[in-house]
Amino acid sequence: MESKLIFCVLFGIFIASSFDFNDAVVFKFTNVVCESFNKSWFVFHNCRLKAVSRSKVTLNMNATILHPTNDMTCHAQMFKRASGYKPWLMNIKLDVCLFLRRKNNPFFSIVYSFFKDLSNFNHTCPYVGAIIVKDVYLRPELLRLAMPTGDYLLSMKWYYYQKHQFDMNFSFTFVEDLLQS
Ligand SMILES: *[C@@H]1O[C@H](CO)[C@@H](O)[C@H](O)[C@H]1NC(C)=O
Ligand SMILES: *[C@@H]1O[C@H](CO)[C@@H](O)[C@H](O)[C@H]1NC(C)=O
Ligand SMILES: *[C@@H]1O[C@H](CO)[C@@H](O)[C@H](O)[C@H]1NC(C)=O
Ligand SMILES: *[C@@H]1O[C@H](CO)[C@@H](O)[C@H](O)[C@H]1NC(C)=O
């Protein structure tokens, strides 16, 4: 029993060490859906994934906010696929302008960390004009969260002054790192 375990551990280390740390994890976008429900306020020009390599898929997005907003709420919900998507872990309604001042939500801080240096939304409210996301991809080193292997959906419904303006839904796949699990 014990020797079997040791063998497994050694074998695991051997497999894992033959890859570089980041190669041992699959963490990538599989789909994105962006839709505006009020094109006189929020317009998507572009919202697209690009497969750069087998393990790296980048997201590019270009949108315009046509009138300033000082009140944004994001209803963010995670789902994990298990014969249909089932709610998983997170279901929050976040005051985004407050978040941008205080960074006061640990889960949203993780989501934000993927975007902040590859987008132009690192500032406080009001928000107006171009919203640009350039070559964002999912970096496992930013995920400070134990997550089981699986297919996930992060749904984000955005409200300005309590009115539903647009959705951004990301699907992604996560495969646990052999070394970490
Ligand atoms: C749509 O956007 C306009 C601003 O262009 C705003 O005045 C109006 O309240 C919005 N309507 C809805 C239903 O959100
Ligand atoms: C975003 O789209 C607008 C409208 O199509 C375009 O004028 C602008 O150059 C685009 N910006 C970027 C950074 O791609
Ligand atoms: C984002 O904003 C904070 C606070 O203004 C600043 O300290 C940080 O350097 C900014 N990060 C980037 C990537 O621009
Ligand atoms: C995004 O996902 C949520 C949750 O499944 C769903 O209610 C919503 O309709 C989706 N939005 C779009 C634009 O597909």
Select from 35, 37, 39, 41 the residue to mutate for testing ligand 1; criterion: most ligand atoms less than 8 Å from CB: 41
CA distances from 96 to 49, 164, 168, 172 (A): 25, 14, 15, 23
Are the C-beta atoms of residues 171 and 95 closer than 8 Å to each other? no
The whole model's pTM is what?
A: 0.85
In order of their start, the domains of the chain are 24-180 (2.70.220.10)
Cα 128 to middle of ligand 2, angstroms? 15
Cα 41 to middle of ligand 1, angstroms? 6
CA distances from 72 to 75, 87, 104 (A): 10, 23, 15
Cα 141 to middle of ligand 4, angstroms? 28
Q: Which tens digit of pLDDT belongs to each residue from 6-49?
A: 444 444 444 444 444 444 589 999 999 999 999 999 999 999 99
